[in-house]
Structure 1
Amino acid sequence: MPVRSSRRRPLALAAAVATATTIGATALALTGATSAAAAEVPLSGYELTWGIKQSYRSYVTGMAAGTFTATAGASQAADNGAFTFTDGAGTYDSTAHTLALGFQGALKIESKLHGFDITLTDVRFDSATAEITADVTKSGTTTQDVPLADVTVTRAMTDMETKLTKEAADVLGSAGYEGAAGDPLTLTQTTQTQSPTPTATASDSASPSSTPSATASESASPSASASASPSASTTASPSATATEPATAGAIADGTLGWGVKESFRTYVVGTVAKGEITASGGATQASGNGAFTFPDATGAYDTEAATLSAAFEGAVNFKGHEANGEYGLDLTLSDLKVSLAKGKGKLTADVTSLGEKSEDVVLADLKASSAALTVTDDVIEADDVTATLTEAGAKAFGGFYTVGTALDPVDLAVAVTDDATLPTGGGSASPSTGGSGTGTGTGSGTTGGTGTTGSTTGGTGALASTGSDTPVAALGAAAALTAAAGAGTVFAMRRRRTQA
């Protein structure tokens, strides 16, 4: 294929959307969209899966006795399945909440019996125009950016409906394909799972060559302490532990400090969602649209085994995109639970989205800075525990953020006796920089919040737009609203990349 240079072409994008059309659990609305030139964020590491049309694949390999050959990064699923194009790269417009991606891979469709030889390359997906395009080589002639299908863009960006275009009908060789339903289209971002650092367990075990005379507290080799507790509190003298107080028992009280995600809080109360955040059932929110504190912990702990399981009271509701008294975003997290085992664990919650409740959803994977649990003044604390969004968590947020996204850190404090004094501060006393607004915390109609049960409204901000905060699965929702709204401002977006 001849070498082509980068070029630009105009794309239409609605400048504003009057109301939030219902397109999913957390529909987006575009208000006051401006030039995308200053808001493009580079994206990479995406895959696009689309089968064109199942009946067409059956025709090619059946009646036409033809073949599909996927190369250069593309692949086809078994049993004449759908095609996947890899290494997607492009840009995300953080102002318009749209993305444009180009993918690697080539697909050759050939039938000597019926006399056709078609190759698709440079497959592209654009959420602003809601279409999939490709360069098409047919009968030795290459046509660039052929629109193959219109896409019904959804927030999840999985199994999106497609409708074949007139151009696709021409490429596939049958006028009957024009306007026909194509195979569903799925766009995903491939994520890398971080491997545990080599030093994470280095201090927990001794080298096999450790001296046999090492005490139980200095060696964790299986031969030295097969029946011993993994805790460092084990000593060489059995009588030393006989008089020690219990290291396991029930949790008497405790608090969980967690902000969910600062950019999400900012988005909810900002100028796009124009919503509110309400803490209830004993939960509180710090002033300035800050983090939340969930109280009244119950559960159990074991410092020798370095395990802890705690459940907390309270709930927090995120609500936005109101139209005619109904909300496109209405998400409640309640019955939060934290479990830790040697520094790693889970954060779960009951999730109610638009009236539908799912219990014990694992929202985040947790990792503490230390594998040990230490009781000080009858309190166990674990601060700045990292929280990473799980697959179930991503679904719970309607695909608002991708799997592996860093959430706000978790601060945990539990009392092991009834008369212990819990530390103040944490989630309830650390105002977030997200959002704005002032007011008093009286009841459920507050503005800004002051650490009391109530709601946060107003403020400024927009959907997170950089790094891992880019809400990949949510990008298409704005485009779907744009398509429903009709014509709008014309702007230029980079459409091509240099390719041989």
Structure 2
Amino acid sequence: MSATATRARRRPVMFAAAVATATALGAAALATAPGAAAASVPLTGYELSWGVKESYRNYVTGPYTKGTFTVTDGASQADGNGVFTFTDGQGTYDSTNHTLHLAFKGSLVAESPVHGFKRVLSDFQYDSATGVLTADLTADDGPTQQDVPFAKVAAPTGSDMSGLATTLTTEAGTFLGSPSYAGAAGDPLSVVKKQGTTSPSPSPSESETTSPEPTSSTEPTSSPTSSASPSESETGNPSSPKPSDSASRSAKPSASASPSASTAPAPSRGDIADGRLTWGVKESFRGYVVGPVAKGLIAASDGASQASGNGVFTFADATGTYDTEGGTLSAAFKGSVNFKGHQGEGEGGGYGLDLTLDNVRAALDGGSGKLTADVTSLGEKSPNVVLADLKGASTKLTAKNDVITVHDVTATLTEAGAKAFGGFYDKGAALDPVNLSVALTKGAELPSGNGTSGGGSGTGGTGTSAGTGGIDGTGSTTGGTGSTTGGTGGSMAATGSNVPVGALGAAAATTVAAGAGVLYALRRRRDTQA
């Protein structure tokens, strides 16, 4: 299906930071005569990157499903069973309501001859007004359903459309084959302008006579915080006015009009003023704790919070130091997270699993680093445990609007981290990615989201029938909800990579998880007695 720029059924809703977006768009959308009706601005050359859900990708390509992903018609997939990218995004920008609608090329096929399913997704469309990502869906050899709501997408911050949190819809859960996916957090979604593309703009003489604002682009920039004006990034003209010039004309404050944006930038090195780190530890571990075997709970406290749906954790109030020239950063975050499970019989029975992580710290040097925390297991505290080796996508640290933001840092379990988790995971196991943002000045505004699916502190609750078959299974687990039998026709399972319920059966998967729980309790008793 081709891009449709003027869908009347789309409900116009403003961006959370409309002024910042409008500023990034340049004067092609703004330089109209007073009172003139604003027209839709055509957009071209965008890309959408989204992995749907990491545990789903692991399930499809896992050792039991033995499936594959095939991308065609302009789509691609990152190495290592990574995220998918859809290209040639076209659509329109509504300069009145500061919303956009884009449609992308590319098809994605998930297929498993072993489990007998084939799922085709195509014609992805993102509408910032409704905050919905739609797609055309084809299950097996059935008819194609068009424009199906597939994920809810968090509102962008100004013109920054990278790392947007997503929540899978009920329709997505049905299509993927497990009700437990409905309402679950999907992978972060990013929409960026492909470098090197051009966009319509008025001639230089028009822009000079009608408006003093930058006019080299009519589209949102791909820069996360638009620290450079469109004219600087696209035409190389350093003398053109910056976004803050036009943003200051609005009565509504925005990131570009913050105190930090109007003052001198922070020095290249110094003390961190604030910050937060978002990390889920390991999705399958969270599911196991509140699942039907451990029947436990998760509690975030002392400044930490957990996203809804048994989501990731956010640790706040960062302190530490940074050096952008040297590419180094060291930050400590407030907050504590406790995991409890396998409670003993009778009132007041102790827990066989009682693990607390606090005093979380992240250090980066040239793109690599360590994630450290104080670990308390069954009442015994071990300070300064290096839980994970970190690896960022870039060796550099760049401050924009006096904020350093690093997304999707790979976290790999260390030997010390494996011991902290009772030996359930081997050294080198992949943990959830780390996202962090640190403010270099008190006036700097931290971006919202950081890949989370929601805020607020909470607990995982007691699980009784969660969609997880074992410690490496995943699904929607908070409060013990979910499915243990898979989805439509039993073709998909509500699991992660290692214990597919659809292949082994719910009873077999529960047995595996129960054995893991007993092993954990026995190991802990043995260690205590030693």
Using the size of structure 2 for normalisation, the TM-score is 0.39
Using the size of structure 1 for normalisation, the TM-score is 0.42
Larger relative contact order, structure 1 or 2 (CA cutoff 8 Å, min sep 6)? 1
Considering only CA atoms, is the larger Rg found in Structure 1 or Structure 2? 1
Q: Kindly indicate which of the two structures has a greater share of residues assigned to helix.
A: 2
